[in-house]
Amino acid sequence: MKKLNIWIKQHLLFVIATTLALVSVVFGRFDFTYIKYDVLVSLFGLMVVLALFQASGLLRWASIKLIDWSSNSQVIVQSMVLSSFFGSFLLSNDIAVLTLLPIYLNILRHLPKFKGRILGAALIVVAANLGGGFFPFSNPQNLIIYSAYQVDFVTFMWWTLPLMVAGFILVMATTFFVEKKVAHTEVKEESVDRSVVIQASIGMILMVIAIFGLLNIFWTVAFITAYVVLTNWRYLLQVDYLLLLTFAAFFILVGNITDLSLVQSWLSANISSEGMAYLTGLVASQAFSNVPTTILVSPFTDQAYSLLMGVNIGGLGTMVASLANLIGFTIIRNAMSMNAKAYFKVFTIINVIFIAILVLLFFPW
């Protein structure tokens, strides 16, 4: 029983999501179509590719190099935050977090006395959320709104540019609160397995192309998985399957809630105005994540701009407000160099402050 309690505490988000999904099935139904298989398959493929990068030694090499090139710990965090913010423009917030947090955790192994490690980790995730709101293809919720409302590209960019600028100022200003500690490492550089790096790079390129819709994501991931099985199947053991199941549980929960006639009636009657569309997207994202919220709300309102601002700012806030938040927390939870409870506290404080500022700045008064 003690071991079970420990396991539940370590995987609390999975337990909560699964419990809520089961309750929703009891009062609703289980429907396989609720699950967004393309999202789960994409995450699985990215995790496999990142396992290859980890095994190649490239992440460790990049960590040592960044320390050597930086004058202090604050500069390291600022470099990681900038990479996360601008990287999410093209690669989405999920991929930015999946790629950069492991590098950051590798860096922390060489900075054992660095007190700003938790703040740095939280800012990497927050930066990915804020940067990912820029282009129509940066995040799924953007693409849904861009396509559903047939917004032209220039108009969309004009809408998101102020939020991107405000987010950049907030996140970079906060990096100056990170401890400034002289950074250096005497660790001898280890060799990088170039053949594995090439394999991982090809896998990442294929994944990005597939996520952009130029390749079939299912066939692409099937090809990568088959190759890994034939070359070294142990890489598949590094995939966080509980995280994938957590997402599946949230999809089932949202699907059942969406099917409720009461919810549909309320949405039809109450979100025609700019303010209500904005607040509904913002508040609902805190409980159901911003991508499912966009799918839920978009058919019931013609306020594209307000909904776009609501769900993008709504990616901040709770741990479930965006998939990137969940991915980041799962990576942190599994890291030996990070206290998950302390991270949760710092992450929540930053998000509450940021969301309060941005909500007021972009509310359609």
**Which pLDDT score, from 0 to 100, does residue 188 have?**
55
**Which pLDDT score, from 0 to 100, does residue 189 have?**
56
Helix axes 217-232, 194-211, angle to 10 degrees: 160
For residue 279, the tally of other CB atoms under 10 A from its CB is: 19
Helix axes 37-56, 241-258, angle to 10 degrees: 160
pLDDT confidence of 43, banded at 50, 70, 90?
confident
Tell me the pLDDT of the chain averaged across its residues.
86
Element housing 24 (H / E): helix 12-27
For residue 331, pLDDT beyond 60? yes
For residue 217, pLDDT beyond 60? yes
- Work out the average pLDDT over 133-157: 84
pLDDT in tens, 262-288: 887 888 888 888 999 999 999 999 988
Distance, CA of 254 to CA of 32 (rounded, Å) = 13
For residue 187, pLDDT beyond 70? no
Q: What is the DSSP letter of 28?
A: S
**Which pLDDT score, from 0 to 100, does residue 133 have?**
86
36-39-40-42 Cα dihedral, nearest 10 degrees: 150
- Work out the average pLDDT over 185-200: 74
Closest residue by Cα to residue 209 from 219, 199, 196, 197: 219
Distance, CA of 278 to CA of 358 (rounded, Å) = 12
Q: What is the DSSP letter of 72?
A: B
∠ Cα 204 208 212 (to 5°): 170
pLDDT in tens, 45-57: 888 988 888 788 7
pLDDT confidence of 202, banded at 50, 70, 90?
very high
**Which pLDDT score, from 0 to 100, does residue 130 have?**
94
pLDDT confidence of 127, banded at 50, 70, 90?
very high
Distance, CA of 245 to CA of 165 (rounded, Å) = 35
242 vs 316: which has the higher pLDDT: 316
Tokens representing 148 are 């559903």
Distance, CA of 323 to CA of 33 (rounded, Å) = 19
**Which pLDDT score, from 0 to 100, does residue 183 have?**
66
Distance, CA of 167 to CA of 357 (rounded, Å) = 10
pLDDT in tens, 76-89: 899 889 888 988 88
pLDDT in tens, 227-238: 999 998 888 988
188 vs 223: which has the higher pLDDT: 223
**Which pLDDT score, from 0 to 100, does residue 325 have?**
92
Q: What is the pTM of this model?
A: 0.82
One-letter amino acid for residue 203 of the chain: G
For residue 167, pLDDT beyond 60? yes
Between the alpha carbon of residue 339 and those of residues 284, 289, 334, the distances in Å are: 29, 24, 10
